Structure 1
Amino acid sequence: MKRILTVSLLVLTLIMSAAAVSAQDYVPSPGVLSPDQVDFGGAVITIIGTVDEDTFAEGTIREGRLEEAMELFNIGGIEFMFRPSSEVVMTRIVTGEATHDIIHRDWRNEYYNMAGHGMLLPLNDLLGDDYYDYLYPTDSIIHQDILSVGSNVYSFGHLYGSNWRPTALVYNRSLLEREGQPDIYDLWTSGNWTWEEAEKIIQNVTRDTDGDGEIDQWGIAWRRIDYAIYMNNAQFVKKDADGKYRYGWADDDAIWVFDKIAEWYREGYIVPKELDGSNRIKNGTVAMQFGSDHAEGGQANNGDTLIYAPIPMGPHADRHIYPEWAVKFASIPVTAENPEGLIALHDFLFRKEDFDFDSWFATEVNERMFNRESAEHLLYALENWQGDVEWVNGLDSPDVNIRFSDDMDPLFRGIEPVRSYLEAKGPTAQAQIDALFGQ
C-alpha cells in the first residue's frame, strides 16, 4: 500500500528554517551530486522496500530530512511502498512505471533475478571506486563483491555502516565449567577453536544427568543446526574468480561438514529433532547453539551464563565464518529517468554519519551481549567479516526454486547418504542458477 507524504508550504517553510543547519552540514559522498545539482521538477518519488515514513519520524536521527529533500530536490511528493511483493516491484519496472523509484530492501526479494535480467541499472559509470572506498567496509563488500553480477555493480548506499551483528553461535559457559570442559572463549582467543575441540566438548558433555537412562544434556541444540555447515564454509552457491556462479554443495568442504553433522546426530551429541522445543540454549540443557547473533539474554533459564562466540573452524576453513542471512541493498531501476538524482536523494536521506558506533555498541552491550566476552567477540566479528553470506536466503526466488532447506533435515539426521544426495541435486541446481543469473 502506498502512503503519501504531503507537506504544506507553510509547514515546509517552518521546518526548513529549523532544519537549515542540517541541510547546510550535509556533504555528498564522493561522486554523488549535491542537492543543488538535482531538480526533479516536482515529480513524485517512490521508495520501495523496508523503509517508510517512520524511518524519518520525530526523535530519529533522520527527522526532518524528507521535508528538506522535497524542498532541495524540487520533489512533489514522496511515496513509500512498504515490503511489496517481488512481482509488484518487477511489474513496475517492466511496465515503465518505475521512472522515479528507489529500491531499498534486502536480497531475498528477487535481487539477483532483477540484476541478472537487466531490470536494475548498472552503476559502474555513475559511481566509481572513490565512492565505494568511502563507504564503511561492510557496505563496500556487500555492493562490490556480494551483489555485483558479472562485471557490473548494481547496488549502493550507506545501509549497514558499522552497526550490525554477525551470525555465529552462543554457548553455555556454566555447563562447560560443571563438566570440566575448556571455555570456548579461551579456545577462541588462543587460536584453538576448531571442529576437533568442538567435537571433544560435545562428546564429553552429552550424558544422562539424572540417572533415568535417558540422555537429557547434549552438546549441540537442534535449533538452527543448519548454521553448523559454516564451520567449513560450505556454500550452496559459489562465485568463481571469473564472476560465474556455480552450485557448491557437491564440493569436498560441503560433503565433509554435512557428513560430520550427520555423524554427531547419529552419535546422539545433537538434540533429537523431536525434542528441540524444550532443549535449546535458554533451557540450560545444551552446551552450544548455532545461528545466534547475540548472547540470547546472557543467561539461561536456570541462571547459567551464556556467551556469544565464533563458529568453530572446520578442516577446509582458515578463519571463523559469519554468514549474514539477509543482505540489504539500494538499487535504481533501469527505467529511471534521473538515476544520478535518485542516487543523490538516497545519499541525502541515508548518510554515513547516521551510524554512531559508540552509542550503538553501548546499546548492544546493555541489551544483547551482557558480558565482556560477548562484547569482545562482537567487535572481533565486525572487524573480521569478509563477505560471508547465507546464499540459500539470497537465492530464494519463486520462479527459480533453488532453495531446499527443508530437504537438509534428512542429511543432518543421517537418513540420506550425503555425497550421492548432494551430487544428485547438482545438475538441476546449476541449471536454475544459470537461469537466475542469465549465465
Structure 2
Amino acid sequence: MKKFYRVLAGCSLALLLAACSNSTSGEPKKAEKKTAEKPKVEEKFNKVVPVEDLEDRDYGGLTFKWAGPFRQIDPNASEVKEKWLERIQALEKKWNFKFEPVEIPYDSMVGDYIRTTLAGDPVGDIVYVHAFNYYPAFPANGIAYPVSDLNVVDFDNPKWVQSARRTSEYKGKTYSVRPGTMETVIVRDGIWWNKTQFQNLGLPNLYDIYEKGEWTWDKLFEVAEAATKDLDNDGKTDVFGLGADRLAFDLIYNNGAEAIKKTADGVDVDLNDPKIVEALEYFQKVNKDHKGVFLQPKEEGGPVNVRDDFRDGRVLMVAQDWWVSTSDLNGGRMKDEYGFIPFPAGPSNEHPEQPVSVGADDSMEIMLGTAEKPKEKLEIWDEITNIGTAKDWDRWTREEYEVGANDAESVEYAMLMHKNVKTNLIYGFGELNGIVNKLFKDIATGATTVQTGLEAVDPQIKAALKDFHDNGVDLGVSEEEIQKTKEELKKKKEEGK
C-alpha cells in the first residue's frame, strides 16, 4: 500500500481558516467560529471493549442474516476485515447467535428486499442498498426499519459512515447503520486533473491555486480554456479542458444549496432559491461562453465516458467520484500522473472552508422493515462492528484513500471532503428527476432563460411533490407477487425442517 507524507499539514492552516475565495471578486469569506462543540469524537470513542470483557448475553441461537451482494468477509484483505471477522466469531460464541452472510445477486436484490419484506419474511436483517433505490421508496413504504427508534446505536460513533446516515434520514428518523467495515471511502465529485499534461502544456499547478485561495468557478473555466487544444492544427479539438456530466448539480451544491431538501413531511424542491438561481445562471453562461472546453459526445453517439477520456489524456480535468481512482486510474491504468482537488466553492457558499462533495448515489446498510426481533439484531450489529477507536477509523479511512491516490495532496483533500459528502436524492424521484434534467438541458442549450424555465417548471414540480405526498411511491410489486413470495417462503421453510 502506498504511504504519503502529510505535506499539506492538514490542507494548510490558511486554507482551513480563510478558505478559498468563493466569489469572482476575489474576496474570501472567513469561517465562522463555532459557539459550542460536542465532546471530541476522539475522546468519546477512545477505546474498544474486548469481547471477553463484555456482559454475558444469550440470544438463544438467533440467526442474524446479513444480505446483499459481496457478503463474504476476507480476513486477508485488510486489518479492518481481519478484526471484524475475529469479533464476529468471538461474539457468536459468547452471545449464542449465528451470523449468516446471504449472497444476493446485484440485479435482483431490490426486488428481493421488497417482496420478502412485504411477505413478512425478509431475505435479510441488515442489507445493502443504493440511495436511488432506497429513497424515498423504502422508508415511505415500510421496507426499511427506522433503527433510530430502537435507541440502541450511537450514530456519532465514527465507525458509522456519516454520509449514509444523513442520506437515510426520512421524516426525522435514521435508517442506515452502514459501518466502515466493508469500505470507508465515500467522497464523490471533486476535480481530477492530469498533472503530467498540465506541466507539459505550461498550465498552472491546481494545488498552488487552491492553496492561495484562488480556486473559483471562473478560475476553473479559465484553466479549462487554456487546457483545450487543437494539437495538430486541423481545426478539431484534440484535448478538452473539462469533462463534467453533472455540472449543474455540482454548481448548485457547491454554492451552498441543495436540489432537494428533507422536511418533516418528506421532501421539498425549491429551485427558486437564490443560490440555485445563481448557480443555474452561471451554468448557462459557461455553456454559452466556454462550450468548446467541454468534451462533446463521440461520433457514434451515446453518452461520453469522461472517465475513459480522462484516463487516456483526451480530457485534462474531470468532475467525478473518488472511486474512479480505483476503477479506472490506479495500478498503471492511467499512464500520466494525476491529482484531485475539491470542486470550487461558489460565490454564495457561506462555508468554503469545508468543501462539498456531491454524488448521485450512496450505499447504505439498512434493516428491513419486517425483521424479527429488530432490537436484538441491532444490538448484535452494533457490537460486532465495534472493532476500533476514533483514531483507528481515521487511520483506516486514510489508508483506503491512499490506495487510489497518486500523491499526498489528493489524500489530504479527500480527507477534508470526507466530512461533507452529500447525496443528490432527486435521482430517486422519477418524475421530478425528469422535469429537472429537462430544465437543465434547456438552460444549457439556450432554449430558455433561467427565469423563464423556472417559471415554466414550477407548477410541474409542485404537482409532482403533491402526488408524492398524497400517494407515495409505487414499489412496482403486485399483491399477486407478494402472495406468491409468501407461498415460496413457506414451502422453503417446510422443506428445511
TM-score of the superposed pair, with normalisation by structure 2: 0.67
* Root mean square deviation, CA, Å: 3.9
Taking the aligned partners of 2:297 and 2:447, their CA distance within structure 1 comes to 16
Answer yes or no: is 1:37 the counterpart of 2:57.
Answer: yes
- Aligned position for 2:66: 47
Answer yes or no: is 1:149 the counterpart of 2:149.
Answer: no
Structure 2 residue aligned with 1:410, among 436, 441, 444? 441
Taking the aligned partners of 1:233 and 1:273, their CA distance within structure 2 comes to 30
Structure 1 residue aligned with 2:50, among 25, 29, 38? 25
Alignment: residue pair count: 398
Taking the aligned partners of 2:294 and 2:111, their CA distance within structure 1 comes to 40
**Which region of structure 1 is more displaced relative to structure 2, 62-71 or 315-324?**
62-71
- Aligned position for 2:19: none
- Aligned position for 2:313: 284
Q: In the superposition, relative to structure 1, how do residues 176 and 426 fare at CA in structure 2: closer, same or farther (>3 Å)? A: same
Answer yes or no: is 1:317 the counterpart of 2:340.
Answer: no
**Which region of structure 1 is more displaced relative to structure 2, 207-216 or 67-76?**
67-76
Taking the aligned partners of 1:159 and 1:414, their CA distance within structure 2 comes to 42
Is the 1:233–1:253 contact (alpha carbons within 8 Å) kept by the matching residues of 2?
Answer: yes
- Aligned position for 2:425: 391
Answer yes or no: is 1:90 the counterpart of 2:109.
Answer: no
Tell me the secondary structure at the aligned position of residue 120 of structure 2: coil
Tell me the secondary structure at the aligned position of residue 364 of structure 2: strand
- Residue-by-residue CA offset, 1:27-50 (whole Å, 9 max, x unaligned): 89xxxxx673341x3344332224
Taking the aligned partners of 1:361 and 1:290, their CA distance within structure 2 comes to 21
- Aligned position for 2:23: none
Q: After TM superposition, give the deviation of residue 246 of structure 1 in Å.
A: 1.0
Q: In the superposition, relative to structure 1, how do residues 237 and 302 fare at CA in structure 2: closer, same or farther (>3 Å)? A: closer
Is the 2:185–2:397 contact (alpha carbons within 8 Å) kept by the matching residues of 1?
Answer: no
- Aligned position for 1:31: none
Amino acid at match of 2:67: I
Tell me the secondary structure at the aligned position of residue 170 of structure 1: strand
Structure 2 residue aligned with 1:332, among 367, 390, 396? 367
Tell me the secondary structure at the aligned position of residue 286 of structure 1: coil
- Aligned position for 1:201: 223
Is the 1:282–1:300 contact (alpha carbons within 8 Å) kept by the matching residues of 2?
Answer: no
Q: After TM superposition, give the deviation of residue 220 of structure 1 in Å.
A: 0.8
Structure 2 residue aligned with 1:361, among 388, 398, 420? 398
Amino acid at match of 2:131: W
Q: After TM superposition, give the deviation of residue 195 of structure 1 in Å.
A: 0.2
Is the 1:158–1:352 contact (alpha carbons within 8 Å) kept by the matching residues of 2?
Answer: no
Structure 1 residue aligned with 2:141, among 117, 132, 145? 117
Is the 2:163–2:186 contact (alpha carbons within 8 Å) kept by the matching residues of 1?
Answer: no
Q: In the superposition, relative to structure 1, how do residues 303 and 47 fare at CA in structure 2: closer, same or farther (>3 Å)? A: closer
Q: After TM superposition, give the deviation of residue 226 of structure 1 in Å.
A: 6.2
Q: After TM superposition, give the deviation of residue 415 of structure 1 in Å.
A: 5.7
Taking the aligned partners of 1:85 and 1:311, their CA distance within structure 2 comes to 33
Q: After TM superposition, give the deviation of residue 88 of structure 1 in Å.
A: 2.2
How many percent of aligned residue pairs carry the same amino acid? 15
- Aligned position for 2:35: none
Answer yes or no: is 1:297 the counterpart of 2:351.
Answer: no
Is the 1:70–1:76 contact (alpha carbons within 8 Å) kept by the matching residues of 2?
Answer: yes
Q: After TM superposition, give the deviation of residue 205 of structure 1 in Å.
A: 3.0
Is the 1:35–1:73 contact (alpha carbons within 8 Å) kept by the matching residues of 2?
Answer: no
Is the 1:284–1:301 contact (alpha carbons within 8 Å) kept by the matching residues of 2?
Answer: no
Taking the aligned partners of 1:421 and 1:181, their CA distance within structure 2 comes to 37
Q: In the superposition, relative to structure 1, how do residues 150 and 302 fare at CA in structure 2: closer, same or farther (>3 Å)? A: closer
Is the 2:248–2:279 contact (alpha carbons within 8 Å) kept by the matching residues of 1?
Answer: no
Taking the aligned partners of 1:160 and 1:78, their CA distance within structure 2 comes to 16
- Residue-by-residue CA offset, 1:276-315 (whole Å, 9 max, x unaligned): 4598222323331011316563799895432111111223
- Aligned position for 2:17: none
Instruction: Trace 1:363-382 onto structure 2 (pairs within 5 A).
Output: 364-365=401-402, 367-382=403-418
**Structure 2 alignment gaps of length 5 or more:** 1-47, 475-497
Taking the aligned partners of 1:112 and 1:25, their CA distance within structure 2 comes to 38
Tell me the secondary structure at the aligned position of residue 298 of structure 2: helix
- Aligned position for 1:12: none
Taking the aligned partners of 1:368 and 1:106, their CA distance within structure 2 comes to 22
Q: After TM superposition, give the deviation of residue 211 of structure 1 in Å.
A: 1.7
Q: After TM superposition, give the deviation of residue 324 of structure 1 in Å.
A: 4.0
Taking the aligned partners of 2:124 and 2:199, their CA distance within structure 1 comes to 59
Is the 2:57–2:94 contact (alpha carbons within 8 Å) kept by the matching residues of 1?
Answer: no
Taking the aligned partners of 1:212 and 1:99, their CA distance within structure 2 comes to 59
Answer yes or no: is 1:308 the counterpart of 2:340.
Answer: yes
Taking the aligned partners of 1:359 and 1:381, their CA distance within structure 2 comes to 16
